[in-house]
Amino acid sequence: MFPLLPETSFPMRLSQFLLPTLKEDPAEAQIVSHRLMLRAGLIRQTAAGIYAWLPLGIRVLKNIEKIVREEMDRAGAVELLMPTLQSAELWQRSGRYDGYGKEMLRITDRHDREMLYGPTNEEMVTELFANGVRSYKDLPMNLYHIQWKFRDEIRPRFGVMRGREFLMKDAYSFDLDEEKGREAYYRMFVAYLRTFGRMGLKAVPMAADTGPIGGDLSHEFIILAETGESEVFCHKDLIEMEIPGEDVDYTADLSSIVDERRALYAATDEIHDQAKFEAEVPEADRLSARGIEVGHIFFFGTKYSEPLNAVVTGPDGKDVPVQMGSYGIGVSRLMGGIIEASHDENGIIWPESVAPYKAGIINLKSGDAETDRVCEELYAKLTAEGVDVLYDDTDARGGTKFSNMDLIGLPWQIVVGPRGLKSGVVELKNRATGDREEMTPDAALKALTSS
């Protein structure tokens, strides 16, 4: 069961925290995000492709989840929570049980009933919809949840990038006809651009030719990173185009936002055609890079509503199977993706939107009365102002504290030591730029509460 944490956050003293950082690169980690997630004490592997989320890691995961949830809600989707365990019978009715193969973890309960750990939820959500909705008047509807999935990947690797148990946001749209289904798809497309943008990521929407109708209603969203599993070839404007703002009107016609992107060339190595790429994209606009799939959306019409009998009565009084789409985001994979996109040789550089804490306080001389006093005061005041802060109150050496704080990548560091305090100053460091500035504790407080 997914742990339900309070939305509000609490400040934390490092002396009470579980933060098992590692000095050396773990031998099992091949890519930088995996190495840094282990070294910064975000995760620990408990079985192949299965991870425990340590206190710092769960905070980032929750922040990613929060952005995903806000953008889903903004686009008109409604949250629910379906269980991780499902009955095989449901999948037998859709016809997918036998075909799904070894990626599905199959379980038998004490009464010999066949169960499975859900790899996805089309069947279950379709059944819930069918039980609750009878009329076209209840449409459009989009239901989503953020829940753990299990896929018994043949080769789990790269940490949370390709795990066996992983957190996914999956949304499902229900509409009366294809036209409305297309509109639902466009809303999700725009919500995805916003979601990844808010995490500081440039996502390439890549048309995938699998939609049943016209073949154009499927996109993968790929973020660029050197260690990505696939090679991406696209027009550079795809990552430079402006992302729709917070005030985007989801009741308006959003087709142009999708179409102007669809008009630009994008392909992966699997379907790559070098001649076409060169013919369609002027040399100066060509972008080829490696990428990570963080989201996948598609419209599939009545594929599940027909076998599972999800019908609504239309305006003409006739029953029709609903038109559906599904929309996935790899929530836990995104944490790896963000680190791939934002780190340096010293560690992670969290974008403020997902950072586990906004600031860290480094006490350079625990036990020194004045240093302790200033740290405690900053800690209390920042907390009162609603700034998430991690206070390194341990008695580790200064050098260790500096390198650990850089490693875990909080956006801001306040360094407090007896030498500076003699002239009444602390140091404020920006993790991303490396800029340091001496100022009074009050000025540091102001800088952090006004930014």
Distance CA 47, CA 441 (A): 46
Helix ranges restricted to H, 199-266: 237-240, 255-262
Q: How far is the CB of 222 from ligand ATP (least distance, A)?
A: 9
62 near ligand ATP (CB under 6 A): no
Which DSSP helix (H) or strand (E) runs through 293?
A: strand 286-301
174 near ligand ATP (CB under 6 A): no
Q: How far is the CB of 143 from ligand ATP (least distance, A)?
A: 16
Q: Which of 70, 114, 152, 153 binds ligand ATP (CB under 6 A)?
A: 153
- Half-sphere exposure of residue 353: CA atoms within 13 angstroms, side-chain side: 17
96 near ligand ATP (CB under 6 A): no
Distance in Å from the first CA to the final CA of the chain = 36
Residues contacting ligand ATP: total by CB under 6 A: 14
Cβ distance to ligand ATP smaller for residue 9 or 268: 268
Question: Which among 10-18, 311-319, 330-338, 440-448 is the span making contact with ligand ATP, rule CB under 6 A?
Answer: 330-338
340 near ligand ATP (CB under 6 A): no
Q: How far is the CB of 212 from ligand ATP (least distance, A)?
A: 16
Reference 416, options 385, 384, 372, 386; nearest CA is 372
Q: How far is the CB of 333 from ligand ATP (least distance, A)?
A: 4
User: Which one-letter amino acid corresponds to residue 399?
Assistant: G
333 near ligand ATP (CB under 6 A): yes
Cβ distance to ligand ATP smaller for residue 153 or 237: 153
Question: Cα angle vertex 89, ends 85, 92, to 5°?
Answer: 115
Which DSSP helix (H) or strand (E) runs through 33?
A: helix 32-39
Distance CA 3, CA 15 (A): 24
Cβ distance to ligand ATP smaller for residue 151 or 343: 151
CA dihedral 79, 93, 175, 150 (to 10 degrees): 40
User: Is the alpha carbon torsion for 224, 229, 231, 234 positive or negative?
Assistant: negative
Reference 76, options 327, 347, 303; nearest CA is 327
Distance CA 130, CA 395 (A): 60
Q: How far is the CB of 168 from ligand ATP (least distance, A)?
A: 5
Contact 189, 257 (CB under 8 A): yes
Q: Residues 291-320 vs ligand ATP: string with x where CB under 6 A?
A: --xxxx------------------------
Distance CA 379, CA 277 (A): 55
- Minimal CB distance to ligand ATP: which residue? 330
Q: How far is the CB of 16 from ligand ATP (least distance, A)?
A: 31
Distance CA 203, CA 190 (A): 12
- Residue 62's φ and ψ, nearest 5 degrees, are -65, -35
151 near ligand ATP (CB under 6 A): yes
Cβ distance to ligand ATP smaller for residue 100 or 277: 100
Question: Which among 51-59, 82-90, 159-167, 412-420 is the span making contact with ligand ATP, rule CB under 6 A?
Answer: 159-167
Preceding amide of 244 cis, omega within 30: no
Q: How far is the CB of 328 from ligand ATP (least distance, A)?
A: 3
Residue 371 structure tokens: 């240093």
Q: How far is the CB of 334 from ligand ATP (least distance, A)?
A: 7
- Half-sphere exposure of residue 188: CA atoms within 13 angstroms, side-chain side: 35
Preceding amide of 315 cis, omega within 30: no
Query: To which residue do tokens 């029953």 refer?
Result: 319
Q: Which of 330, 356, 409, 441 binds ligand ATP (CB under 6 A)?
A: 330
Query: To which residue do tokens 């049980």 refer?
Result: 97
Cβ distance to ligand ATP smaller for residue 179 or 270: 270
Cβ distance to ligand ATP smaller for residue 268 or 323: 268
328 near ligand ATP (CB under 6 A): yes
Q: Which of 53, 117, 136, 166 binds ligand ATP (CB under 6 A)?
A: 166
Q: Which of 41, 163, 356, 411 binds ligand ATP (CB under 6 A)?
A: 163
162 near ligand ATP (CB under 6 A): yes
Q: In Å, how far from its chain's centre is CA 369?
A: 43
Cβ distance to ligand ATP smaller for residue 239 or 405: 239
168 near ligand ATP (CB under 6 A): yes
35 near ligand ATP (CB under 6 A): no
185 near ligand ATP (CB under 6 A): no
Binding site for ligand ATP (CB under 6 A): 151, 153, 162-163, 166, 168, 293-296, 328, 330, 332-333
